[in-house]
Amino acid sequence: MKLFVYHTPELTPTDKAPECAIAVDVLRATSTIATVLAAGGEAVQVFSDLDRLIAVSEEWPPEKRLRAGERGGAKVEGFELGNSPLDCTSELVQGRRLFISTTNGTRALQRVQDSPNVLAAALINRAAVVQFVIEKQPETVWIVGSGWEGSFSLEDTVCAGAIAHSILEKTHLSPEELAGNDEVISAIALFSQWQNNLLGLFHQASHGQRLLRLHCQEDLEYCSQTDVLDVLPIQQEIGVL
């Protein structure tokens, strides 16, 4: 198995697809997706375009759907939800499909659509994602961070490092054997440095600071937890997890 880390969708190759692709947006899209599925959501359908989201979700009965939208960290007007995983209680999401569009996370997921195994990962469901990779043994795995509008983000790279670190522990591969690019080694180094203070790292991250200005401290706390949800968001059809 060779693992590659790409910090943003823009840095991800466009001329090939891996056997397994893992999209990461710890703050907060993939944390929200994992939370909805763990809380009994029927499925999560991802859109980059808000008009398309509205048109497709109109085909579902209102009691069977939820619309979640975020732009610039804030909730899209008229939608039931923004992008806070803490709003996704089982009372609200049970048996309903979430139609979601966010600034960066949904772009990362769409960037890897050509892979036969597309997963959504965050720190909270890291163990389930690692378990899938270990059992499936894909030849090539990509972890694609969402970043922020094309730029590197600390929280997605530390999650990539958390996944890589756990794969190393469970397979006994050496970092050189696992790593397909240098980004893997630097992601592992970042995780090793911060694994006991992930919330502290989020406070230093530019998007963490953006969310703190929007009074989302509790979201940061929630998303900085590791391995607390046993849920594997895996794509069943294009755009549906």
Residues that bind ligand 3SL (CB under 6 A): 25, 27-29, 70, 73, 83, 102-105, 146, 211
Choice between 142 and 222, CB closer to ligand 3SL: 222
Least distance from C-beta 211 to ligand 3SL, angstroms? 6
Specify the 3-state DSSP secondary structure of 115: coil
Say if CB 146 and CB 108 are below 8 A apart. yes
Among 155, 160, 149, residue whose Cα is nearest residue 212: 155
* CB of 105 or CB of 239, closer to ligand 3SL: 105
In the complex with ligand 3SL, which residue's Cβ is closer, 115 or 153?
Answer: 153
Please, which residue, 18 or 69, has the CB nearer to ligand 3SL?
Answer: 69
Q: Least distance to ligand 3SL from the beta carbon of 175, Å?
A: 29
Question: What is the crossing angle of helices 206-213 and 154-171, to 10°?
Answer: 120
Q: How many CB atoms lie within 10 A of CB 78?
A: 9
How far apart are CB 102 and ligand 3SL at their closest, in Å? 3
Cβ of residue 225: shortest distance to ligand 3SL, in angstroms? 16
Phi, psi of 64 (to 5 degrees): -110, 5
What span, in angstroms and rounded, lies between the C-alpha atoms of 152 and 8? Answer: 6
Secondary structure string (H, E, C) spanning 125-189: CHHHHHHHHHHHCCCEEEEEECCECCECCHHHHHHHHHHHHHHHHHHCCCHHHHECCHHHHHHHH
Closer by beta carbon to ligand 3SL, 67 or else 165:
67
44: three-class secondary structure by DSSP: strand
Looking at the Cβ atoms of 3 and 220, the one nearer to ligand 3SL is 220
